[in-house]
Amino acid sequence: MTDQPAAEPAPNKEIQIPEWENAAVANDADDSTAGAGGQATLHSKLDRVLPPSRRYLGLSRKVFLCLLLAVVLALLALIIGLAVGLTTGSSSSSEDLPLPSSSETFTGELTYYQPGLGACGETSTDSDFIVSLSYILFDAAGSSTNNGGNSNDNPLCGQTLRATRYNEEVGAERSVDLRVVDRCTGCAVDDLDTSLGAFERLAPSASGRVSVSWAWLGPVETGS
């Protein structure tokens, strides 16, 4: 039997890696090193400013930083909310407000309060047929202490309106003419806050808060 020559081992083949793959691997390594180095640098700076061994307001650094972040986020939310509110308020057209130039009838809530020296510079009592208008309406009409002016000069001061509603106690519709003397900080734009005497013309005092319809009349004549 003839001996067969042993098979020679196959030569090792060199695997060629495309240059773009080499570049990608190198870039990934550089990015990883840069990221780790950046984090280390940031951490070391934080340690210099706020050493982890110290207590801050009696709290550990981690708890203190979490609390600080929560406060910052709350302040940002408050600022954004105020900005949105101011934008909404300033964008409201005066035509949308129940100003004396409108001949419409408005519907809001009627309440009563203890009168005294009002924003228009006039002192009133429970028996006077007076009304305090919403601060939204009052300030939109003109000057007030809230916008740095003299509220006595507000053009709504002295204007009159007629409030009307069905009085359940007497079983009939009743109305009363009211003169603007004050500014109501707790009233919505269509609400009225009046004296007890005027309120009782429209509803029992025990009601406290009732719905009311109202419309503007002419300005009060001087000396009336």
Residues 105 and 208 in one domain: yes
- Domain count within the chain: 2
Average pLDDT of 191-212?
A: 94
Q: Which of 65, 91, 117 is the last residue of a domain?
A: 91
Q: Is residue 8 part of a domain?
A: no
Q: Is residue 9 part of a domain?
A: no
Residues 79 and 144 in one domain: no
Euclidean distance between CA atoms 203 and 213, whole angstroms: 13
Q: Which among 106, 153, 104 is positioned nearest to 134, based on CA atoms?
A: 106
Asked whether residue 28 carries a pLDDT value surpassing 50, the answer given is: yes
CA atoms within 13 A on the CB side of 71: 6
Residues 175 and 156 in one domain: yes
**3-state DSSP of the chain:** CCCCCCCCCCCCCCCCCCHHHHHHHHHHHHHHHHHHHHHHHHHHHHHHHCCCCCCECCECHHHHHHHHHHHHHHHHHHHHHHHHHHHHHHHCCHHHCCCCCCCCCEEEEEEECCCCECCCCCECCCCCCEEEEEHHHHHHHCCCHHHCCCHHHCCCCCEEEEEEEEECCCCEEEEEEEEEEEEECCCCCCCEEECHHHHHHHCCHHHCCEEEEEEEEEECCCCC
Asked whether residue 3 carries a pLDDT value surpassing 50, the answer given is: yes
Residues 183 and 103 in one domain: yes
Residues 104 and 189 in one domain: yes
pLDDT class of 90 with cuts at 50, 70, 90? very low
pLDDT class of 218 with cuts at 50, 70, 90? low
Q: Is residue 74 part of a domain?
A: yes
Q: Which among 110, 222, 120 is positioned nearest to 175, based on CA atoms?
A: 110
Residues 83 and 192 in one domain: no
Q: Which of 74, 91, 108 is the last residue of a domain?
A: 91
pLDDT of residue 144: 85
Q: Is residue 4 part of a domain?
A: no
Asked whether residue 176 carries a pLDDT value surpassing 90, the answer given is: yes
pTM, full prediction: 0.55
Q: Is residue 13 part of a domain?
A: no
pLDDT of residue 158: 94
Asked whether residue 116 carries a pLDDT value surpassing 90, the answer given is: yes
96 CA to centre of own chain = 20
Q: Is residue 194 part of a domain?
A: yes
Identify the domain containing residue 151 by its residue range. 96-219
Residues 79 and 102 in one domain: no
Calculate the average pLDDT of the chain: 80
Range of lowest pLDDT (95-99, 130-134, 145-149) = 95-99
Q: Is residue 3 part of a domain?
A: no
- Other CB atoms closer than 10 Å to residue 134's CB: what's the count? 22
Q: Is residue 108 part of a domain?
A: yes
